[in-house]
Amino acid sequence: MVPSDDPRDKALVVEDLVLYFQLTHGIVQAVDHVSFSLDKNRAVVVIGESGCGKTSMGKALTRLLPRNVNRYTGKVFIDGVETMGMDDETYREQVRWVKISQVPQAAMNALNPVLKLKDQVLEPLLLHEKGISMEDAMERVHAVFDFVGVPDGFIERYPFELSGGMRQRVVIAMALITNPAVIVLDEPTSALDVLTQANIYNVLKRIKWEKGTSFVLITHDVATSSELADDVLVMYAGHMMEHSAAEEFFAGPLHPYAKMLMAAVPKLYGEDELQFIPGKPPSLLNPPTGCRFADRCPLAFEKCKLEPPTYRLGNRLVKCWLYEKEADEIVSSPEALAGVSA
Amino acid sequence: MSEQQVQEAAFSPAEAQDQPLLSVRHLKIWYELKRFGFLHAGYVKAVDDVTFDLPRGEAIAVVGESGCGKSSLMKAILGLVHPHDGQILFEGKDIWEGGNAAMREYRMKVGYVQQDPYGALPPFMTIRRILEEPLILAGIKDKEERMERVIRSLEEVKVTPPSDFLNKYPHMLSGGQQQRVVIARALIRNPKMLIADEPVSMLDASVRVEILKLLDEVQQERHLSVIYITHDLSTVRYFSKRIFVMYAGKLIEKASTYEILHNPKHPYSWALLNAISDPLAENATKLRDIPPGEPPSLITPPPGCRFHPRCQKAIQGLCEVEVPPHFSVAPNHDVACWLYREEAEA
């Protein structure tokens, strides 16, 4: 795909996104200067261990933030519109659920237990498409239920009457009904059985192929993330460590952290011995200076005490000193980082 | 030796032993449903006619989706629910014979690793008290002996140095450390059998591997019999040599791990294997072939084979009428599916 530099042609462009939280005893640097872009009709998966800032990044994109935000800066173009300059009311009216919607973590419990399913799916449509007639709206609800594979009779039911997989489909229907350009999925299948998981990914693939939606998929499950991935973005301790196209990433990740993550994935066949990553991610309250993975990295050397720049190798980005020699160039400006299309 | 020969050899000596550690015979766990609190309104048949043996020193895995009855099976083996019918024999004795004293003695010999480590550890107790309590209940009066065993078990699960952790509370530990403490607690009375109910499903990918490796080490060192209950087939082969696949309250396929992965017979096992992705980029380019629908209600399960409404190979006039028996398609490979009725007879 020919990379285009104009942010208006992309589904999502994130430049230098920063999200810090204020706690009584310090500042949590959850998302620290992350830049990337996503072309239309593509999916990027954000992978990393718990506590790496993945969920915070999803929340920063849909601006569903708690009150203790300390710093929230950068530029986010969603479907060609810069949104960080908007005030909350404008964002709510013009962006959230119009251009970007979210399937939250533990989506199975995200439904209101005392509302019928049709009313819950109808709500975003009535709020965001002013003047739509009730008949048209109901028709859309029926269509979207059909699309995600929930039997039509279920729309009169309450959430407790459905299995986990069906509830997950309803939450996806809610995110889909306004036809947003981007859907953020936060761990969409982590609480589900394997067969249900595969079914949900089939639904997501059909949405992508038939509706042209772009996805940001946040997950720690590297194996199932490959079901949807076009691009892979590896996060560690708030930093973006690697950004590659899925084909290249799954064939051979660059960053030592990404390599170790891949070695920890249980596989059905093959002789590989499973490896784990010793230690745990650093606290984001006082993250280490230098490379944040250096403490756990078997390949760490003297230079890792300094923060590595982001190197470009072909269409891939990696933040690691090991690639100093083979890299094509150092990419430092946020615009350039976002411009490199994986 | 090929992987297959290793697998076969691994359970033949155990097979040769005269008595399995645990035998489950025609076990039925039915929960009664009541209307208005006293009128009988039917049963939830969570486990229906399950039979298997667990040899000494072997790890087996029970694999199935939520609601297939695997947790009920585990509860019955732990003696937490009374079976509707059938027997659970531990070292040849029915666990329900002999009253409370016998049950207490039986539970001394069984360890249990829960799914959610944080929920399994009492939040107001220190690690020392959590680990000491099973020993107090076992009647060990000597305080020093108890401390020594607590420290030894923490070392065994690699929560080191133990002195740093003894006075901590569960919330001060990471998820992986909490799960290690749960394993230490399960092992502290030197059980003969360990039951692990989804021990890694709540953990991060990398921590998951740590815990699986630890369980595997402990199993081999102590020559423990382990029942590993999970819905994730991809973790099974790193741990157990034998898999039982469960669907809607019945065991539908019993075979070595190698056989299930390379030569699955039951259409449901095909579907389970089909649903698991290895991390490959080409996954994103095609839809997965997954049977439609969901597992049936266990109150009114479908007649005949319980998988037939979702099965693409279902034989008209047979599968929906008669319950398939277990056909032996190879040594140590049983499958409850009518597709193999001729192969087995021949």
pLDDT at residue B166 in the model: 94
Residue B17 clears pLDDT 60, i.e. is over it: no
pLDDT at residue A5 in the model: 61
Tens digit of pLDDT for each residue in B105-126?
999 999 999 988 989 999 999 9
Nearest to B115, CA basis, from B52, B30, B178, B42: B178
CATH 3.30.450.40 fits domain A7-99+180-267+274-339 = no
The domains of chain A are located at 7-99+180-267+274-339
SS3 assignment, position A270: coil
Continuous H helices in A49-159:
54-62, 88-94, 117-128, 134-148
Residue B136 clears pLDDT 70, i.e. is over it: yes
Tens digit of pLDDT for each residue in A216-244?
999 988 889 999 999 999 999 999 999 99
Residue A274 clears pLDDT 70, i.e. is over it: yes
Residue B3 clears pLDDT 60, i.e. is over it: no
Q: Is pLDDT larger for residue B204 or for residue B216?
A: B216
Residue A1 clears pLDDT 50, i.e. is over it: no
pLDDT at residue B18 in the model: 67
Residue B143 clears pLDDT 80, i.e. is over it: yes
Query: Residue B14 — very low, low, confident or very high, per pLDDT cuts 50/70/90?
Result: very low
Q: Is pLDDT larger for residue B308 or for residue A279?
A: B308
Residues in contact with B268: Cβ distance below 8 Å, sequence separation at least 6, in sequence order:
B245, B247, B252, B253, B291, B307, B311
Residue B98 clears pLDDT 90, i.e. is over it: no
Looking at residues B206-231, what average pLDDT do you find?
A: 91
- CATH topology for B3-109+191-345 is Rossmann fold (3.40.50)
Best mutation site among B204, B212, B261 for testing chain A: the one with the most A CBs within 10 Å? B204
| Residues of chain B found within 8 Å of residue A276, distances taken between Cβ atoms | 206-210, 213
In single-letter form, the type of residue at position A257 comes to Y
Q: CA A124, CA A102: separation in Å to the nearest integer?
A: 12
Nearest CA-CA distance, residue B25 and chain A, Å: 28
pLDDT at residue B1 in the model: 44
**Touching A: B residues 201-230, CB under 8 Å:** 204-210, 212-213
pLDDT at residue A4 in the model: 52
SS3 assignment, position A20: strand
pLDDT over 70, % of chain B: 94
Residues B121/B179, Cβ–Cβ less than 8 Å: no
Query: Residue A164 — very low, low, confident or very high, per pLDDT cuts 50/70/90?
Result: confident
Residue B4 clears pLDDT 80, i.e. is over it: no
Best mutation site among B68, B200, B257, B277 for testing chain A: the one with the most A CBs within 10 Å? B277
Residue B7 clears pLDDT 70, i.e. is over it: no
SS3 assignment, position A76: strand
Contact A268/B231, CB-based, under 8 Å?
A: no
Tens digit of pLDDT for each residue in A21-62?
999 989 999 999 999 999 999 999 999 988 888 999 999 999
Residue A169 clears pLDDT 50, i.e. is over it: yes
Count of CB pairs separated by less than 8 Å, A with B: 122
Tens digit of pLDDT for each residue in B278-329?
888 888 988 998 888 888 888 899 999 999 999 989 999 999 999 999 999 9
Query: Residue A305 — very low, low, confident or very high, per pLDDT cuts 50/70/90?
Result: very high
Tens digit of pLDDT for each residue in B60-73?
999 988 888 888 99
Looking at residues A107-133, what average pLDDT do you find?
A: 89
Q: CA A28, CA B63: separation in Å to the nearest integer?
A: 40
Residue B10 clears pLDDT 50, i.e. is over it: no
ipTM, 2 dp: 0.83
Q: CA A130, CA A236: separation in Å to the nearest integer?
A: 41
DSSP H/E element including B93:
strand B93-94
